Structure 1
Amino acid sequence: MSDPFGDLDAAMGGDSGADADAQSEPEPEPSDEPAEDPEPEAVASPREQPAFEFDETLHKALYVLEDVADEFDDVITYDVERELTREHGLKNIKKSELHNAALAVVSEHSDLIVEKVLEQRGLDDE
Structure 2
Amino acid sequence: PVIASHSNCRALCAVPRNLTDDQLRAIRDTGGIVGLNVHHAFVHEDPAQQTAQMLARHAVHMAEVMGVEHVACGFDFCEFFGPGNDGAQGLEDCSGTGNLFFWLERLGMSAREREMIARENFLRVLQ
Length-normalised TM-score, structure 1: 0.23
Larger radius of gyration: 1
Length-normalised TM-score, structure 2: 0.22
